[in-house]
Amino acid sequence: MSATHVVGESLESWVERLRNQDMPIFSATLAAIGEVAENEASPTSALGRIVLRDAGMTARVLRMANSVFFRGEGNRINTISRAVVLLGFDTVRNIAISVALIDAFLAGGVRDRVTAEMARCFHAAVHARHAAVVRGDGSPEEVFIATLLSRIGELAFWCFSGDTGQKLDLALRRSKAQPEQVEIDLLGFRLRSLTQQLARDWTLPGLVQNACADHVRADSREAFVQAGYRLAAAAEGGWDSERAREALRDYARVLRQDVAVVAPVVAGHAREAARIAGFYGCDDAAARIPQPSRSIDPDPEPEGEVAEPDPALQFDVARRMVALVAARSPTGAVLDAALEGAGQSLGADRAVLALVTANRAQLAARATYGTGSQQLMRHFVFLLAGAARDALTELVDHGRVIDISATHAPAPGLPSVARLRAALGDRHQMLVPIHANNQVVGVLYVDRAASRPPLPTGTQDALLHFARLAGMALELSAKSR
């Protein structure tokens, strides 16, 4: 049964009301920014003056400009004018618009709807930006901002609709019909249409308007926005849900990549989206972004038996490895034995033996063991050349042992584990270096699911022993060439 059409205000009336009554400060700020943008003779300092009128906006714009998401690893930006020089006028303008918009939505309205919609927009924006990067778009940041603004009609309505918003909220909760049909029955228009009208009225980037269309080209920027939003919305029902898996497959098609390659990257997007929401001051929205409890697997394999440490097997594997090294057996046989020891004797769920490529540009799995070993083989590939300092570069460059608990929380000054978590999930993870010829040439990795007790004391020593024997074999092999 459809909702009763109870509201007489037209779409145009809602646009007029939001512009002049409910959001006049935002409208004025947007008009000023738009005037500067349209006047090619305006100096870049004009944008700075608009932002500097509001100390809170200035602080948030600089905070976003200094985030790795926009600035990368460059020098810190301390002024708006410097941000314009380094990031470009359009990027700073779009950051300012998004900050002003979110400021307008942070209070009042149907709070649960506002927070949920904002969380969805942040999450979708990170997915869309990644799609733009992968597909070689000229301005991924513009795609990010356009996605962030792609539900301004919905956000504005839930913030300022009063009793009408409460009625629509109740109707959406009770009705089994499609949400857009409920909106039409109650309001006489879709909230998506409100977004299009506001975007046009406020002269927001054309991509915001175009992404609201019912149909977009599969190879267009609008497709990046829509695919990101579908994935973010589907994840709210659980990353393991069939809806989320289907959205992930759609997203992979937009990227033109294998879904197994995309899945671990998407897990990292959820964490990145929560961080960015925090940068904008939207802590409630950040908390609503669904975080995968483990690596996202589009085609999960059934769980195997739970392994426990086997000291007798540890000793037997080590004895066989010593014999193989002494006999100058093929290196592959020693490496296979090292993986066997790591995977079968230490009580780990999964194990990887990975090698650094000859040009030291990449660390990639040679062989894997345990549940989901095929996916693990695809996911355990990490770029080293040009990568920012993190746990993996510390491991390979300095031979550090990495031991990360399943509940590890990032802390200032510590190497980031974001790449490991994004690819392999939140598990108890242990990585030790394999040395040969005075450098790290490989890695032995083991992990345990967060639902199990941590890897026991002594795991690191045993893993290091297997790694040392593997290193001896690799060094002898190099000398015999």
Q: 423 and 334, same structural domain?
A: yes
Q: 183 and 96, same structural domain?
A: yes
Write down the pLDDT at residue 217. Answer: 85
3-state secondary structure of 471: helix
Q: 172 and 76, same structural domain?
A: yes
* pLDDT category of residue 216 using cuts at 50, 70 and 90: confident
Instruction: State both tokens at 221.
Output: 């920027």
The closest of 460, 447, 481 to 358, measured between CA atoms, is 481
Q: CA separation (Å) from 108 to 98, 104, 156, 159, 160?
A: 18, 9, 10, 6, 7
Q: 257 and 344, same structural domain?
A: no
The closest of 87, 112, 89, 117 to 101, measured between CA atoms, is 117
**What CATH number is associated with residue 154?**
1.10.3210.10
Q: 318 and 363, same structural domain?
A: yes
Find the domain containing 347 and state its range.
Answer: 311-479
Q: What is the pLDDT of residues 291-315, one digit of tens each?
A: 876 556 555 444 445 678 999 999 9
Residue pair 290/236 in contact by the 8 Å Cβ criterion: yes
The angle subtended at Cα 114 by Cα 111 and Cα 118, nearest 5°, is 140
Reading phi first (left if > 0) and then psi (alpha if -120 to 50, else beta), residue 162 is in: left
3-state secondary structure of 380: coil
Write down the pLDDT at residue 215. Answer: 82
Tell me which of 78-87, 193-202, 354-363 is least confident. Answer: 78-87
Sign of the Cα pseudo-torsion (443, 444, 450, 454, in order): negative
Query: Looking at the domain assignment, is residue 428 inside a domain?
Result: yes
* Number of separate domains in the chain: 2
Rounded Cα–Cα distance for residues 425 and 452 (Å) = 14
Asked which of 232, 255, 288 is the last residue of a domain, the reply is: 288
| CB-based burial, 372-403: b 16+ in 10 Å, e otherwise | bbebbbbbbebebeeeeebbbbbbbeeebebb
Query: Looking at the domain assignment, is residue 475 inside a domain?
Result: yes
Query: Looking at the domain assignment, is residue 397 inside a domain?
Result: yes
Q: 473 and 335, same structural domain?
A: yes
Asked which of 241, 256, 288 is the last residue of a domain, the reply is: 288
Please provide the average confidence, as pLDDT, over all residues in the chain: 83
Q: What is the pLDDT of residues 113-162, one digit of tens each?
A: 888 898 999 999 999 999 998 888 888 888 888 898 888 889 888 888 88
Q: What is the DSSP string of 254-315?
A: HHTS-HHHHHHHHHHHHHHHHHHHHHTT-HHHHHHSPPPSS---SSPPPP-PPP-B-HHHHH
Query: Looking at the domain assignment, is residue 451 inside a domain?
Result: yes
Strands 439-448 and 350-356: antiparallel
**What CATH number is associated with residue 356?**
3.30.450.40
Asked which of 288, 322, 347 is the last residue of a domain, the reply is: 288
Residue 454 has pLDDT above 50, yes or no: yes
Rounded Cα–Cα distance for residues 49 and 274 (Å) = 30
Instruction: State both tokens at 25.
Output: 């400060």
